[in-house]
Amino acid sequence: MKRGFLNAAPKSSKKDSYAEDVIASADAKISNGSHEVGESLLNSHGKEEESLDCATSPSLPPLTPPQAPSAQTRPIVPEPVEAQREAVPPHDAGPSSQEQPKEEVNEGRGESEASQTPPPPIAPTAEVVGDPGAQSVRVKCDCGDNPEGTSYVFLVESDDQNQHLSKSSLPSNGACEACIDGLLPGRHYKLCVAISSPSFPSSPEDVVGTAFQGPKTSFVAGPAPPETPAAPTVGGKSKTSVKLRWSPPAHSCGSAVTSYTCEVFRNPLDGGVPVATYDGPDARFEAKGLRAGTPYMARVAATNALGTSPYSEWVMVSTSATVPGIPEEPLCAQIGLGWIGVAWGPPSEDGGSSITAYTLEVEEGPEGSGYIAKYSGPNTVFVLQGAAPTVPYRFRVKASSAVGGSQFSSPLEVVGACGPTGPPGICVVERQYSHALTVAWTPPEVLNGAPPLMYQVGMRPLVEGVATNFVVVHTGDACRCDVGGLQPACLYEFVVVAVSAHGPSPPSSPSVLETACAPPDGPDPPFLVSGGPNFLHIGWRPPAITNGSPPVCFRLEAVGGDYEPVVVFEGPSFEAPLQNLQPGKALWLRVSAANALGYGPPSPTVCFTTGLLPPGPPSGVCADKITKTSARLQWEASQHDGGGVVTGYRVQCARLAGSGEEAGAPWSLMVEGVETRVCTVEKLMAGTQYTARVQAINTEGVGLPSPSVTFSTEAGPPGAPDAPTLVGDPAGCELSLCWAAPERCNGADVSEYCLQVQDLSQGGGFSALYTGCLTSFDVSSLRPGTPYAFRVRAANSAGSGPFSPSLNVTTTAVAPGPPLAVTPIAVTHNTLKLKWSPPAFTGGSAPHAYSVMVSDEGGTEAKEAWSGPTTSCKIKVFPDTVAHVSVVAFNAIGPGTSSSICSVTIPPAPVKQAPVMQPPKTLAAPNVSVKGPHSAVVSWGMGGKNKGCEYELELSVGGAEQDFASCYSGSQCIHSLQNLQPNETYSVRVAALNDAGRGHWSAVADFFTKASPGKNQNKPPGAPERLELEKAGKSLLKFRWKEGPDGEASGVSYRVEVCAEGADEFAACYTGKTLEYCAKKLKPNRRYTVRVQALNKWGASPYCMEKTFKTAGDGGVVQGIVVVLIAVLLTFSFLGFDFFAFLR
C-alpha cells in the first residue's frame, strides 16, 4: 500500500498551488459522479488559524502520485508530486516497509518532534457484499488495528473513468459497510477504500494531513432494460409506404438487445391504435398500407432479457401526394323556369394535396352532343341560366390539386322545367245590369309548354280611400262569365289568370267596369229631434247609397199592427213635426227615399213615445191597526196616471203637538218605494199623535200629495234614563248613587225604578240592588279594590223600559292577605330555596312584591332575608341550625299579613374532599387538508385545558356514523391518512383521552379525495329523485329518496335539510352516502318541509322537489289538562280553601 501527504509545507507557494488544484480536481470528479461525497476533508486552506481534522471528516478524495501505479493498487486520482517524493515503499515490499519512520516535511524540524509522530493507519481492502444491483452496490471493509478516529471513504470509478462515486462510513464493531448508489447498469467498476490519519502536526507550517487508499476490487453492475434508443429516421417513402431505420441504444445495460418495437400513428394524441407496428430484431421497418400525402408519427423501443426501454422521441414522416379521387355525381339543388342549380361535394380522397379548383362541363340535348366547360373555380355550386323547357341537360365535374386533376364524375341528367302560361287578355263587358255584369277575355299568347286548363276571374270594388283585395268570383274553362251580387252604379276592377298543368299564369292587365243605376237604398232609421207629452219632431238623413241618382223626395209612414201604413209626411225636407198626440203613447215610424228611378226600400221601423206627466194625488187615505210603535195606512189609486204606469208610492208622517199643530221637523218619517196601496209605518213613538199623506210616483216623477189623515199611537214603556251618577267619593266598601227620570214617558207616568249591579272582576251578569220609586240609593257590602258597573231602568203601566248606560266604579283597595303554602324545595348547609303561592285575598290590588323574614331557633327578632316580585327565592343560612321562615305580600296599599312560619332544619357543612379527575373536554371538529387522490392530512387543537392528553382519531367512509374505525392513537395533534380511495367521501372525528377516560367525540368533519388522473367526471351530480315518507311518529320522520343522474358515481354523498312549520330557513341535519334518513327529536302534530341535495368533489346538485311531512299527533293533551286541574283542586281542598265558595 502506498502512502503520501495531501499537502507539502506551506512555505513553498508552488506546492500550495498544486494542492489547491488537486482538491478542486477531486471535488469536480465527485460532483460529476452525481453522488454526494459529504463534508470535505479540507475545511480550510492557507489559513494559519485553523487546522485540518481528519477524524471528523466524512469523505476523502483519493490522492496518489502521478507515476505508474503498481500491480496491486491503481490510483483513482493522481497524488501530488510532493507527496510522491515522500511516499513509502509499496505495501508488498515486505514487513519492514511498515516499520520505516516517517520522513520530515520541513528540513528545520528536530528529531524529537519526528519521534513523537504516531504510525500511519493502514488502508484495508474493500469487498462487494452480495451481487451488485443495476444502480447500487453494498460494500464493506475490515478496519483492522487502525487507531480510533480514522476516516473511511469508499471510492468507485468506472473503467472509462467517466464516472466517480464515493460514500463515507463510520466504523462499527471493527468494520465499515455502506451502500453506493448511482451506478449505471451493466458497467464495469473498480472499488477501493481511502482512509485518513487522526493525527496532524501542531505547526500550521507543516503538512496539514495525510491520506491512504487500499487495493482496488473490480465488479460489474447488474443488468437492466436497455437505454432509450434514438428517434427513427426516414430511409425512403412512397404514396402508400414509409421506410424507417434506427440505431441501437448507446448502452445495452448488461444484456444484449433482442428485439425492437416500432409504432406508427396517424395522430397519437387522439388515443387511437397504431396504423402499423413492427416487433423484431432488425433495426429497420417498412410501414405499408398508408394514405397518400398524409403525415404520421413514429417511435421505437428496444428490448433485452430484462425488459423494454422507454420509447424514443416522436418523429414525423409523410407519404407522397397523388391526384384527387373521383368526385361523386353532382346533385340538382334547385330548378326553375329557365334555370338549373347543381351542387357537388369534394372527393373522399384528396390524394394528400388540398383541392384547388373544380371543373364543371354541361351537355345539352341528346347524348353525344358534346360537353362544354361552363365553370372552373373553387365553389361547389353552379346555376345554369337560359335552360329551355323539356330539353335534357347532363352535368359532370372533376377536382384538381397541385398534383393534377381527377377523372370526371358520373353525369347528372336534368330536364328543363316547364312553366305557367303567359297572362290572358283583359276583361271586357258584354252585358251590363244594375246588380250584375257579363265579362269576356282572350286566351294567353305564350303557353310555356302546356295549354291552359281553366281560368280564374278576380274582382274587387273600387272604393275611394279603401284598399281591398281581389276575390275569385269565377272558375271555369270558358273565356266568359256572369258576375252577380254587385251594387248599382259602382266601379269594379277585374283580372283573369290562366291555370295550366304547371301552375297559374301572371294575372292579366286590370280592367275597370261599371254597373247600371237603380233606385236608392233605404235610409237610416228616423230619429227624434224633440218631443213632449203632446208632440213629436222627427228627423232623418238621406240614404248613403243613391245607386247613381240623388234622392229628390222622402215619405214618412206610421205603421201599427195589422193596419196599412199611413203616410204622415211626404216632401223633400229632412224633418217632420207631429202635433196633438196623447201623452205616453207609442208611435211606430219609417222613412223611404225616391230618385229619378223611383222609391227605394223603406228604413227600419223605430218606436217613438210621447212625454209623460206626474200622476195625480191618491184619495181615501185612512189609518187602522194602530199599536204603540206602528200604524197601517190604506188609500185609493190616482184618477190620472200622467200617461205612464204608477211605479210606487211615497208615504210621509209627521208628529203633532197636543194642540193639533205640527211639532218638530215636518214629515220627518218617510217610506219610499211602496208598490201596493197598503203601508205599515214602523218606529213610531208610543202615545203620540201623527198626521200622514201619500204621493204617487211614475217614471216622470212624484205627483201631488193626498189629503192628510190624523191618528194617535197607544201608550208604551218609558224611555231609558241617563246613567246613574256617584254622590261624593267612595268610602271603603260603600257608595251613594242617584239618577234622573227618563226624558220620555211614552203616554204613561213612571211608577218605579230598578237599579242593578255587576261585579266586573268575576265576569258574571247584572243582579238587582233596588226596586222602588226613589231616584237615589246607598250601596254597601262591596268588596275593596273591586270594579263594579251600575245601571237603572224605569217602568210605567205599559211595562219596563230599556236600561240606562252603565256607570263603572272601583272601590278603594286594602292590604293583601297572607301568602299560602310556604315550602322549602332545596336545602344545603348554607342556602335555602323556597317557594309559595300568592295570597287568596289580594285586597283589591294584586301583590307586586314579597318579603321573606327569617329568625333562628333562639327566637331572635326576624330579619328580612330577601325581597322581590317572584314567588320563589334562594337565601343564605347558617349550617347546622333551624331557620324559621315567613313571607309577607305587598300591594299598592302596603304590606299584608305575614304567612304561617315554616321551620327548616339546616344540615351541617360537608367535609371537603379531594377533587376527582374528569374526562377531557370535547374537542373542536378536526381540520382536513386533501393532498391527493390517496392521501390527506388531519389536524386538531389541544382543546384548551386538555394538556398532557392523548388523542384518538376515527375515520368513516361515505359519512356513515356506524362505520367509524380507529385510524390513529397518540399524543400528536396531526396525522397523515394514506391509501385512501380517489373521488370518495370520508368523515373523521377526534376525542381526547386521560386517566379518567375518553372525552366526547368532536363534531364530524367531511372531506372528498381528489379524482384519479384520467377520469373525466369533473361535474356536480344530478338532483336526487322520488323523495318519499317511510314512517312518521310523534317525534320522528323517516324518509328515503332515489339517486339522480350520475348518482351511482363514486364520491357522491347527500345532504338533508329540514324546515319546521313557521320557520324562515332550512337547517342541515344529515350528510352521508345512504339513501334514507330518520329525523328525530321533532315536535308532535307538526309539519316539516324536507329537501335533499347531492354532493361530490366538483360541487352540489340542485335540490330535489321539496315535500312536506307531518308528525303524529299527541292524544294525551286533554287528559293532561284534566289531571292538572284535578291536582289543583285537591291542593286547595287540602289547604282548607273553599275554591267553589270563592268563585261564587
- Encode pLDDT of 1122-1133 as tens digits: 556 776 666 666
Those residues whose C-beta lies under 8 Å from the C-beta of residue 407, and which sit 6 or more positions away, are 326, 398
Is 50 exceeded by the pLDDT of residue 421?
yes
Residue 964 sits in the same domain as residue 986:
yes
Q: Which pLDDT does position 354 carry in this prediction?
A: 85
Handedness of CA 839, 841, 842, 843 (dihedral sign): negative
pLDDT at 251 over 80: yes
Same domain, 509 and 430: yes
The percent of residues above 90 in pLDDT, for the chain, comes to 25
pLDDT tier at 1046, thresholds 50, 70, 90:
low
Judgement on whether residues 588 and 637 belong to the same structural domain of the protein: no
412 within domain boundaries? yes
Across the range 683-692, mean pLDDT stands at: 85
Give how far Cα 58 sits from Cα of 109, 141, 171, 195, Å.
31, 16, 11, 10
Question: Is there a domain that residue 1044 lies in?
Answer: no
Helices and strands in the chain, H and E counts: 5, 79
Q: What's the whole-number mean pLDDT along residues 354-363?
A: 91
CATH at residue 650? 2.60.40.10
Q: Please, which contacts does 35-38 make with residues 24 or more away whose CB atoms are closer than 8 Å?
A: 35/165, 35/166, 35/167, 35/180, 35/181, 35/182, 37/61, 37/153, 37/166, 37/167, 37/168, 38/168
Residue 735, pLDDT above cutoff 80:
yes
Whether 606 and 646 map to the same domain: the answer is no
What are the tens digits of pLDDT across the range 1004-1034?
Answer: 888 888 766 654 456 788 889 889 999 999 8
Total structural domains within the chain? 9
294-312 confidence digits (pLDDT tens): 888 999 999 998 899 999 9
Q: Are residue 936 and residue 990 in the same domain, yes or no? A: yes
Where in the sequence is the domain holding 979, given as residue range(s)?
927-1008
End of a domain among 579, 594, 610?
A: 610
| C-alpha distance from residue 707 to each of 3, 433, 619, 661, 664 (Å) | 167, 75, 7, 16, 20
What is residue 1045's three-state secondary structure? coil
477 domain-assigned? yes
pLDDT digits (tens, 9 = 90+) for 160-171: 777 888 888 778
Cβ atoms of residues 792 and 803 within 8 Å: yes
pLDDT at 360: 92
Q: Is 147 exposed, middle or buried (0-12, 13-18, 19+ CB in 10 A)?
A: middle
- Whether residues 384 and 440 share a domain: the answer is no
Q: What is the mean pLDDT of residues 836-843?
A: 87
Instruction: State the residue for C-alpha cell 302534530.
Output: 1085
- Is 950 part of any domain? yes
Greater model confidence, 33 or 793: 793
pLDDT in tens, 769-821: 889 888 898 888 888 878 889 999 999 888 888 999 999 888 888 888 899 98
Residue 1039 within any structural domain of the chain: no
Q: In terms of C-beta density within 10 A (0-12 exposed, 13-18 middle, 19 or more buried), how is residue 952 classed? A: middle
**φ and ψ at 86, to 5 degrees?**
-95, 5
The answer to whether residue 20 scores a pLDDT higher than 60 is no
- Judgement on whether residues 670 and 744 belong to the same structural domain of the protein: no
Least confident of 9-13, 458-462, 950-954: 9-13
Q: What value does the mean pLDDT take over residues 845-856?
A: 88
Residue 613, SS3 per DSSP:
coil
User: Residue 801: in which H helix or E strand, if any?
Assistant: none
The model carries a pTM of 0.32
Is 106 domain-assigned?
Answer: no
Domain end point (choices 515, 535, 554): 515
| Residue 391 near residue 330, CB atoms below 8 Å | no
Point out the least confidently predicted range of 659-673, 863-877, 893-907, 1067-1081.
659-673
The pLDDT, as a whole number, for residue 850 is 93
Query: Per the domain annotation, does 35 fall within a domain?
Result: no
Domain C-terminal end among 982, 1008, 1034: 1008
Average pLDDT, the chain: 80
Instruction: Map grid coordinates 516517517 to a residue.
Output: 102
Of 271 and 849, the one with more pLDDT: 849
In 312-401, the DSSP E strands lie at 315-318, 331-336, 339-343, 355-364, 372-377, 381-385, 392-401
Q: Is 771 part of any domain?
A: yes
Name the more confident of 10 and 295: 295
Set of cell numbers at residue 896: 299584608
Give the residue carrying C-alpha cell 443495476.
Answer: 134
